[in-house]
Amino acid sequence: MPRPLDSLDATADEKVTSPQSSSDSTEFSESRKRGGGKEELVVAKASTYFSLLLRSGAEPFDYLLFVIGVMAAVGAGVPFPLLAILFGELVDNLNSASESCGGGDTAASFGLQSAVNAKVLSALYVTIASFSLIYVHSFAWSLFGERLVRRLRERYFTALLRQEPAFFDSLEAGEVSSRLAGDLEVIQTGTSEKVGICISSLSYFIAAYAVAFYKDARLTAMLVVVIPAFFTTTTIGGKYVKKFTAGMSDHIAGATGIVAESLANMQIVLAFNASDKLEGIFATQLETARDLGLKKAFASASQLASMFFIGYSANALAFYQGSKHIAAATEGGGETGGTVGAVYTVIFVLLDGKLSPGWPYVSETLTAGM
């Protein structure tokens, strides 16, 4: 069954051929024939996704949107770690002020007020910058995805019109139109604003760990275990989600083709009394698609639940170990970076922030690309 990506990357004797993609399709076909192994196919699929973003006659405006979207998404990942630093310093100021107020130090109270005012204004400015960057990269990637899908739809339809009539004899009625709508919608899901979210999550990841290692290296080193745990959960969950999504799309396309062909040949169906048989085939296709949809929902829910379990477990570890650092620093045990604000910054920037919600989008983007 033809899929838009396959149709634009396969050779003419296999599936639909898209103009201006003969070199890419030749390389893809040769990689499958030459290696015949899983590694070559994975590399070909990965290169297909990244080449998909700027293919099919991209215009200068598309390149401009791409550059603006990437730069704004990279910048959107930086403000949140800066807010974590400001909040950590506020916690330290409040902690020191509470100790000073216990001794009746009025000058320290006035100094605290000015320091808090300055940090609140800084937090406001950082928040405004974050809002602007998120808005820009979301708008740029959404428009970029819309234009990309429009070009792919036009090229795919043009390639279909160039096929021989024998090509359509092997397909069910309505399958091409179903693929044209459904698969391109999946491509748009993985090439629109979620690309910006993935880039900003990566930028946030780098900035967050840089800040965390600067504030408390020992505590941050303990929390590094969260990275492979999140990555493993995303990889395994994304594999099953992709598998069930592809199967569900195949059966829905088959059911759509049965309906279209039956309605187009209603006299033949009634003449041969085949309505019950076709109805049974149609119901079987829908039941199979429903079962695969339930499995996909279970896989997605399990993936999300595992990620939150890992996050909350890491929170428990961070609070336990952070309290030990603070206690050791209070007792003068030579603990470095063990202030309340430093521990709060590490926990806030690594665990309580928006790092973990970005991982499902990575899986969904790779699913759309493959």
DSSP state of 17: P
User: Smallest Cα–Cα separation from 223: which of 235, 211, 234, 236?
Assistant: 211
The residue that leads in pLDDT, 163 or 242, is 242
Task: State residue 281's pLDDT score.
Answer: 92
Instruction: Indicate the average pLDDT of the chain.
Output: 77
Which tokens is 306 given?
């595992």
301 burial via Cβ count (<10 Å: 0-12, 13-18, 19+): exposed
User: Average pLDDT of 261-267?
Assistant: 86
Asked if 269 and 278 touch (Cβ cutoff 8 Å), the reply is yes
pLDDT at 32 over 50: no
Per-residue pLDDT, averaged over 134-153, amounts to 89
Per residue in 176-222, pLDDT tens? 666 677 777 777 777 788 888 888 888 988 998 899 898 888 888 88
Picking from 364, 367, 57, the residue whose alpha carbon sits closest to that of residue 193 is 364
pLDDT band at 367 (very low <50, low <70, confident <90, very high): very low
In this prediction, residue 138 carries a pLDDT of 92
183 dihedral zone (left: phi>0; alpha: psi -120 to 50; beta): alpha
More confident residue, 53 or 41: 53
pLDDT at 125: 94
pLDDT at 99: 61
Q: What is the pLDDT of residue 5?
A: 44
Cβ distance 8 to 56 under 8 Å? Answer: yes
What pLDDT score was predicted for residue 217?
Answer: 86
Residue 272: which H helix or E strand, with range? none
DSSP 8-class letter at 358: G
* Phi, psi angles (nearest 5°) of residue 55: -110, 180
Secondary structure of residue 146 in the 3-state scheme: helix
Percent with pLDDT over 90 in the chain: 19
Weakest-pLDDT range from 27-31, 96-100, 157-161, 252-256: 27-31
Q: Which residues contact 221 (CB under 8 A, 6 or more apart)?
A: 213
- Give pLDDT, residue 267: 86
Domain region containing 243? 4-369
How do residues 87-133 score in pLDDT, each as one tens digit?
Answer: 888 888 887 766 655 555 555 566 777 888 888 899 999 999 999 99
Query: What's this model's pTM, rounded to 2 decimal places?
Result: 0.64
Which is more confident, 197 or 55? 197
Q: What is the mean pLDDT of residues 244-262?
A: 88
- 334-363 tens-digit pLDDT: 455 578 888 888 888 887 655 444 454 454
Query: Could you report the per-residue pLDDT of 159-185, keeping only the tens digit for each?
Result: 878 878 777 777 666 666 666 777 777
Left if phi > 0, otherwise alpha if psi is -120 to 50, otherwise beta: which for 273?
Answer: left
The single residue listed with the structure tokens 């320091």 is: 115
pLDDT of residue 352: 66
Contact at 8 Å (CB) between 7 and 156?
A: yes
CATH number where 81 lies: 1.20.1560.10
How many separate domains does the chain show? 1
Mean pLDDT of 60-81: 91
Distances, alpha carbon 322 to alpha carbons 80, 136, 226, 315, 327, in Å: 21, 37, 16, 10, 9
